[in-house]
Chain A
Amino acid sequence: MSCCRSASGTSLSPGRCAVILDFLSAGLDVFLSPLALGLTFAGIIVGLVVGAMPGLGPLMGIILLLPVAIGLPPVAAMGFLIAIFVGGSCGGSISAILLRIPGTPLAAATLYDGYPLAQKGRASDAIGIAITSSAIGGLLGGVVLVFCAPILARLASNFAPPEYTMLAIMGLFAIVVISGGSIIKGLLAGSFGLLISTVGTDSFSTGLRFTFGSHNLLNGFHIVAVVVGLFAISEMAAQMMKRDLLKIPDVKVARPGLHTISLTLRHYVNLIRSSAIGTFFGAIPGAGGVISSFTSYAVAKAAARPGEEYGEGAEGGVVATESANNSTVGGTLVPTLSLGIPGDASSAMLLGALLILGFIPGPAMFENNPDVVGGIFMVYLASNIFLLVAGILATPLFVYVLRIPKVYLIPSILLLCSIGTFALQASVFDLQVMLAFGLIGILFRAADYPLAPVVIGMILGPILEANLRRSLLISREGYWIFLDRPVSATLVVVNVLLLVAMVYLTIKRIRSTTKGDLAKAMSTEE
């Protein structure tokens, strides 16, 4: 409601709340058809499945099913696609929690606490928390979408290359915060991610970097092939080393319970904060869910109370990442619907679908097609509610995967990773990339290097480099452009403060570990 009040103070017409309620009631009429309801529910199931499968994610789900959707009535079609987006953004956490394999890059940060929580025998709880956080995060993102879209869109349009550069640097600092073990190893892994994102055609000079004459490398490595390789292949290799491959695992499958909702709601501060971060990053075109989940996790970890062991199965870790990446979906729809500028690749496809269906997103759509705008708001809100229902009911089914003997599970997962990764670009080369990164993943894990920073590095790399160079091209006075613009200057100050804090903490940590090591060394020598 505060958005409505502040809205009246801007150029928006007074009585905006009433207008929004008109949208919603017009949308409700269109949405409450068996077809739209049914397809929204079906979209959630499809989304959860494509999200949980390593390789495919919400984007591929939308691409693969867009031809089906464009033959449907508009709200039903958008319901189907948006539900795939919502379900897919959550589905990746299921495989992350159960198998230590993020189904999508979005779930990479969920590994930190989701998997350890499941290892403590609380797999059902972990999935329940992930799903509930996703749904509530999504709903909070939805509230922002419904009530604050124009304001947030205006805020986002003030983000130009200098601001993106500073945000990317802030994102990189998250690596330091989330690296539980060695900060240097975390930074090394993150920098490695930054470096591999430079492979391919440089969009500024149009030169080719590190392609070694291969046309397959002209667009660099596909992020999904890298993620699946790093996590899934290395995990399967680790599993092969165990000796219980033929046994039927004795895993208790807890009954689906509404108690996970109360477990999640206990972290209400974290929930609201992470959803706010997620919505914000979603609303800035080009940032996206991975950055928001990592950032939320870093903030949650930094704000953790003593006793909350982040990285060892803290519920709050799952709450932070999952509420963030699903609220990002709501955030992404803000520029997509109100400006016609897609927030990420998935919403770019949604935008295409909307155009094919005959609607031009932008301020005019809010005036000319309130029923469609309202309908999209409704399907988005309903998707998140359906996600909660379907997700909690299906949790035992997902957890059942843990009962499958590894002799079947390992080859099935390898195959699933292969087909899922192949489906992205119909490319066997992507599979070879997957295997190569699998070997790197094995080496990193063996040497105790965290893998998740590689993912965030790879996502942030192009944002950082392109916006830094873009800023310098736009600037007429070099690096001063970062201080000339108020938002950018504020972010510079924040980044400097963060840097100082991190250097201090690192030195403190290194001192204590080396002291500890020396003490240990001396005691063994004795």
Chain B
Amino acid sequence: MEFIGTLKGTLLAGAIVVASATTALAEFPERNIEVIHPWGPGNAMAMSQVVAKAMGEELGTDMPVISLPGAAGTKAQTTAMGKPADGYTIFDGYVAPLVLQPILGNADWNFKDFKPLSAAVANAFAIAGQVDEARWSNFEEMMAYCKENRGELRYSSGSRNNLPHMVIAKALQSYDCVAQNVPYTQDGNVFKDLSSKVLDFAFVNVGNFRSNPDKVKILLVLSELESSKKAFHGAPTIGELGVDLGLSNLGPMGWTWWIVNPDTPDDVTETLRGAMERAMARQDVIDAVEAIGFVPLSWDHTMYEEIVGGVDAQLNSMGNALAWEEKELKKLQ
């Protein structure tokens, strides 16, 4: 008898579970929504947690952010898009896995293969040199020095073949400057080694620069946005250079556009889009994004093809800069 009682209880509990599963189909969202983030723990992840928290509040659910770094974000994107197309998995679609890696032949997708929710944030980079630099006083002089001393300078773009690397390589190619990139896994260490004069120049992000503005000298802001110029204390931008790098708008910047699996039902996608747009319009979210050194973006899904397509075209047309750098470095060996 005791056993049958237990069995009944277990079955009842099972019935509740299954019942709740069926109601889940009726109203979205019925449970937590996961946001897959392509980088390791750090500022960018904390940023995504801010957006996810606000969006979760709009939807009345929790949205945990899961960090899944690896292979320039392609591991996370493959994993996220391999999950069921039910709207319970969102991908934090950074430019590296979404656009850049397919261009480099490391991923077999196209940005058009996914359903966009809304643009989230962008972050600008700059090229910085050492303070008290005696060899040059601005970016163009550094390029001239570099051209004269091929292979002499050491720089870092953080990871190899990432967006800052591509943009820097394009800039170097435009000036026929060959320098050795030194890959780092943590941006903070790039900044540290630049400020302690181990590196000649490097990419820096707004966050690291704001913490120690007097430790490095900003030579060139890799963005045309006025807000980015301001964030880097009014340093010259790529728009003010003598050469045209063919980059404008979001082209030279890091950014993320949240996306879902293309097979996600339309009503679910619309619910998510509405919630994300409301979240991105919230003042507390804008404040937090700006506090962390990022730029909040307000484009909705209708602008996806135009904006991301523009970046795709720009990066595509400059894709040979990395190959050029590799070839020139090999010549020097």
Residues of A within 8 A of B (CB): 59, 63-64, 66-67, 70, 156-158, 160-161, 200-201, 203-206, 208, 215-216, 218-220, 285-286, 335, 339-342, 345-346, 348-349, 351-353, 355-358, 360-364, 425-427, 462, 466, 470, 473-474, 476
Contact = CB atoms under 8 A, between A and B. Distances in A.
A342 B185 CA distance: 13
A161 B189 CA distance: 10
Contact of A348 (B34, B41, B160, B198): B41
A355 B43 contact: yes
Interface string B141-161: 000000000001010000111
Given A67-B62, A425-B67, 10 more contacts: A160-B198, A200-B71, A208-B71, A285-B186, A341-B211, A342-B186, A342-B188, A346-B41, A360-B210, A474-B199
B195 interface: yes
A356 B183 contact: no
A67 B287 CA distance: 16
Among B43, B74, B188, B199, which residue has the most Cβ atoms of chain A within 10 A? Answer: B188
Given A63-B67, A206-B161, A474-B198, A356 B292 contact: yes
A68 B69 CA distance: 23
A364 B45 CA distance: 24
A426 B161 CA distance: 28
B43 A286 contact: no
Nearest to A342: B188
Contacts of A201: 70-72
Contact of B79 (A161, A215, A340, A345): A215
A204 B183 contact: yes
Contacts of B213: 364
B78 interface: yes
B50 interface: yes
Contacts of B67: 63, 425
Contacts of B291: 355-358
10 contacts: A286-B186, A286-B189, A339-B212, A340-B211, A341-B208, A342-B186, A346-B41, A348-B40, A349-B42, A360-B211
Contacts of B212: 339-340, 362-363
Contacts of B70: 200-201, 218-220
Interface in B153-208: 154, 159-161, 180, 182-186, 188-189, 191-193, 195-196, 198-199, 207-208
A352 B193 contact: no
Contacts of A355: 43, 46, 207, 291-293
Contact of B75 (A67, A218, A360): A218
A289 to B, nearest CB: 15
B132 to A, nearest CB: 15
A285 B210 contact: no
B182 A361 contact: no
B122 interface: no
B319 to A, nearest CB: 15
Contacts of B186: 285-286, 342
B42 A474 contact: no
Contacts of B52: 67
Nearest to A481: B198
B208 A219 contact: no
